Structure 1
Amino acid sequence: MLRNAASFRDPSGRVYETETCVYRTITAAYAEEWAYLKSCGLLESALKIGLGSFEEIPPEELPKGLPSEAVHVLRSPRLPFISWPYEWCFSQLKAAALLTVDLHLLALEHDCILKDASAYNVQFFEGKPLFIDLLSFERWAEGRPWQAYGQFCRHFLAPLALMCKLDCRCGLLSSRWIDGIPLDLANSLLPASSWLSLGLAMHIRLHDSMQRKHGDGRQAAAKVRQMRMSLQKMKDVAQSLKDTVLSLKLPTQHTEWGDYYNDTNYTPAARAAKEEAVARLAAEHPGRLALDLGANTGEFSRLLAPHFDLVLSTDYDHTAVEKHWLSPPLKNVLPLVLDLANPSPSIGWACGERPSIMERCKADMVMALALCHHLRFTFGIPFTQMAECFRSLLQKGGYLMVEFVPREDSQVQRLLAGRDDVFDDYEESVLLAVFQDCGLQHVESVPIAESVRTLHLFTCNTL
């Protein structure tokens, strides 16, 4: 039984985890609210639109390690993987925003509000957003404004607007500010044309102006206390936020890797041989979690899906991940934005609230197809560092699938076209020797027909 490292800010309760379950304790401070939420029907309705499932467990079923002062304990199934907002593409963040505001609108119908509008309250499960913070609702006091309004704007509206109006990579800014992108920064970065959007003008630009006007904390608190909002006004603000989010759409974008499969050097026979090899190796070594690094639009990730409970399909190209998310979904494939050369770090208090991707991922299989040459030639990563990184992402006994692309391949020639080839160590024999020296035992080599490429399978027997 481990206490969740991010569970210390909310006085309503705490979160504890086992390998299979998540337990949420409810303190006496929140007991009355919880009783009302159950009686008014809000929780039952919220479960139908995206609130995470739970059960309240009796005292005799309480596991050891929970605090004795807990008034109620809720148990939920543990999700197979936890991702962070800065690892989502635009449409994933948009879906999370819409779920959050829909739950707030639903809460208002029951004379309640969503007191917490953090993007970290949402996860993705079976292809859909899921709101996991069960203690985020409370009764609304008549006339009281929505205090989570600013949080919603920072966590959702600001990054979505920047991704839409400026560059889709602006979503990565959320990794720098754990409580959302500051509105003054978003306001300064947004182009003047964003004034044409009434929603953005109201919820970001004018919102920022109000914050500047009442920048002194005491003045701001006094202003909030003086504000009175009717229930209808609360609904109007929430609906305006929803309409603004719905109006945001990414412009058509083309990137080198987002259109990779339209510009490939594969013959149909080579493509078929590669697909057959990947599918066979996955079928022979199934497991719980697979990680596809450099997955592009996820076409090969889908070959892993029948053999793993969950496949993380990652790429550093936002356009490729966006295309993957918008393609016909598979419930157990989760597209994520990940730059392996600069992966998601640990952030938050004492670097412990939001663990890095390296800490969160212990896979049964890691797949790196046509990736090592990018890491070597573009980022200067030696084989030793690649091997250590891949091994750190694996469970003991897990498998690593690596495609080696030699110098004579046209895609490598394309990478080397504008630089000197000073990479004397880029040889297949060197990769095999280095990987085995790093604790990755070579299992099998599969030459890919009608190509110069080879697929290698390793297993990890050490950690």
Structure 2
Amino acid sequence: MKQDLGSFRDRSGYVYSDPISIIRTIMPCYKETWQLVKRSGLLDEVVNEKLLIPFEECPPIAGSWKSLNVNRIPFISYPYEWSFSQLQDAALLTLKLQLKALSKGLTLKDASAYNIQFIGEHPVFIDILSFEEWEEGQPWEAYGQFCSHFLAPLALAAKKDLRLSQLSRQWIDGIPLDIASSMLPWKSKLSLGTYMHLVLHANMQKKYEDPRSVKKNNTRSMSLEKLRSIIESLESTTKKFVFPRQDTEWGDYYNDTNYTDEGTSAKLKIVEEIAANFPGNLAVDLGANTGRFSLPLANYFDQVISADMDPAAVEFNYRHLSKNGPHNILPVILDLSSPSPSLGWASQERKSFVDRCEADMLLALALCHHLFFSSGIPFKQIAMFFASLLNPQGTLVCEFIPKKDSQVQRLLSARDDVFDDYTEENFRQDFNAAGFTEVKTFDMPDSVRTIYLFKKSN
């Protein structure tokens, strides 16, 4: 088994994995704490409520005192890939667990957004060793981490610009509170919760960052009642942040398209037919917008990733799935012209999207022309990128849209047409050169577009 390179910070235990199992070790230094947490009954309670990832004890490995066999997450996503409501739900789950822990005489020692993962649209806490005993008078040590990981990006998205929540990609240890505070409009700072937990908090951090400050060590005793009050204030502040009504390029895509109802229905049937013939574990819908064409995939794949660059579209997708299902689709924010890179220590702490994606099927509908014209990415590069996301013998469903299509004409309306290489023949040749074999093509009614079914070669 290999150690997860993102699990080195917590000496209580480390994560190991192989293609079958996920093992979290418990090191001797956490033995007494683990026994205390187990006796409290908290773990059984939150697992039963589907707040904590299920696990079973197993024989120790890698010099551990004990090991846990943990349920595998279908796909690992990161906070900078989540919609506004996904991040908000993850924050509220963290606070709910902290309140439950306090009721058992325990506390969360970590409040990292990376402790949350999504199974479909359902958030779950994965850091089983994050609980420890709460000592009388002790403040919540993870308070600052919660504010920088959750409150700062939510406030910036709600009060300034929806896209600013993705600053988490720049600061994976949390957005610095002084930066978040300086960017917020002054009116938003009149909110008591925002002022206390972000503005005043940032000022206090700045005041006491000087090691010569004698007040830094004069921490006042924190009663349980006061600590609960702070957590409840954080919860109230988090809930008050509202998704901003902000126009984005593709947020209303399906109301501004040249598809007829007959064409859309035919396209959905094509996707359904292909998925039924080539089912598998993971399907990824690239450029999914609000996820309409992700839905047929859910019947034939264990997990579906519904990815789009537009945060408003992904927000709509997440909210719709949360209410209506199906529950094996995970919406994520993904800019394909600059997909999530490897980040953190030695560029290995957080894996790139490519490294995390082992898809059995890729859906790329109404996408290639955007990458080609808007981002300047030629077919050859697009094809090689798609190949890097697919398992051997994986399936690619890709749409070619000729220049005479009205949507392509719109893209070209503000520029000179210097794209002589944008032809269907070049499209086919470049995908074939990247290792794709053409299986079948589908013509759609009321459209000049063609859907290609490719299989990736070994």
Q: TM-score range by the shorter chain?
A: over 0.9
Match for 1:163: what amino acid? A
Would you say the 8 A contact 1:145–1:224 is kept in 2?
no
Match for 1:44: what amino acid? D
Q: CA deviation at 1:193?
A: 0.9
Question: CA separation in 2, counterparts of 1:226 and 1:4?
Answer: 36
Structure 2 equivalent of residue 67 of structure 1: 62
Structure 2 equivalent of residue 129 of structure 1: 123
Identity value in percent? 52
Question: CA separation in 2, counterparts of 1:224 and 1:239?
Answer: 26
Q: Deviations over 1:160-201 (max 9, x none)?
A: 000100111111100111110000100111110112211010
Question: CA separation in 1, counterparts of 2:57 and 2:316?
Answer: 39
Q: Are 1:147 and 2:148 an aligned pair?
A: no
Question: CA separation in 2, counterparts of 1:274 and 1:187?
Answer: 47
Question: CA separation in 2, counterparts of 1:210 and 1:371?
Answer: 47
Match for 1:77: what amino acid? N
Q: Greater CA deviation, 40-49 or 302-311?
A: 40-49
Q: Are 1:426 and 2:422 an aligned pair?
A: yes
Q: Are 1:364 and 2:381 an aligned pair?
A: no
Structure 2 equivalent of residue 55 of structure 1: 56
Ranges in structure 1 where 5+ consecutive residues have no aligned partner:
none
Structure 2 equivalent of residue 159 of structure 1: 153
Aligned residues: 454
Query: What secondary structure sits across from 2:257 in the alignment?
Result: coil
Q: CA deviation at 1:330?
A: 1.6
Q: Are 1:330 and 2:323 an aligned pair?
A: no
Would you say the 8 A contact 1:26–1:73 is kept in 2?
yes
Query: What secondary structure sits across from 1:359 in the alignment?
Result: helix
Structure 1 equivalent of residue 25 of structure 2: 25
Q: Deviations over 1:399-426 (max 9, x none)?
A: 1110111111111111111111111111
Question: CA separation in 1, counterparts of 2:178 and 2:369?
Answer: 41
Query: What secondary structure sits across from 1:292 in the alignment?
Result: strand
Map 1:145-224 to 2 at 5 A.
145-217=139-211, 219=213, 223-224=216-217
Would you say the 8 A contact 1:20–1:77 is kept in 2?
no
Given the two structures, how large is their TM-score scaled by the length of structure 1? 0.96
Q: Are 1:36 and 2:36 an aligned pair?
A: yes
Query: What secondary structure sits across from 1:226 in the alignment?
Result: coil
Aligned partner (choices 387, 402, 408) of residue 404 of structure 2:
408
Question: CA separation in 2, counterparts of 1:78 and 1:256?
Answer: 35
Structure 1 equivalent of residue 351 of structure 2: 355
Q: CA deviation at 1:205?
A: 0.1
Match for 2:378: what amino acid? P
Q: CA deviation at 1:256?
A: 3.0
Question: CA separation in 1, counterparts of 2:212 and 2:325?
Answer: 49
Q: Deviations over 1:81-127 (max 9, x none)?
A: 10000000000000000000100011111111100000000000132
Q: CA deviation at 1:224?
A: 4.9
Structure 2 equivalent of residue 242 of structure 1: 235
Structure 1 equivalent of residue 375 of structure 2: 379
Match for 2:303: what amino acid? L
Match for 1:186: what amino acid? A
Question: CA separation in 1, counterparts of 2:73 and 2:169?
Answer: 22
RMSD: 1.2
Q: CA deviation at 1:272?
A: 1.4
Q: Deviations over 1:197-237 (max 9, x none)?
A: 110100000000101111124648x6255321001111011
**Structure 1 ranges of 4+ moved more than 6 A:** none
Question: CA separation in 1, counterparts of 2:30 and 2:268?
Answer: 53
Given the two structures, how large is their TM-score scaled by the length of structure 2? 0.97
Match for 1:32: what amino acid? E
Q: Are 1:307 and 2:300 an aligned pair?
A: yes
Query: What secondary structure sits across from 1:6 in the alignment?
Result: coil
Q: Deviations over 1:300-339 (max 9, x none)?
A: 0001110100010000000000010111232111000000
Q: CA deviation at 1:14?
A: 0.8
Query: What secondary structure sits across from 1:135 in the alignment?
Result: helix
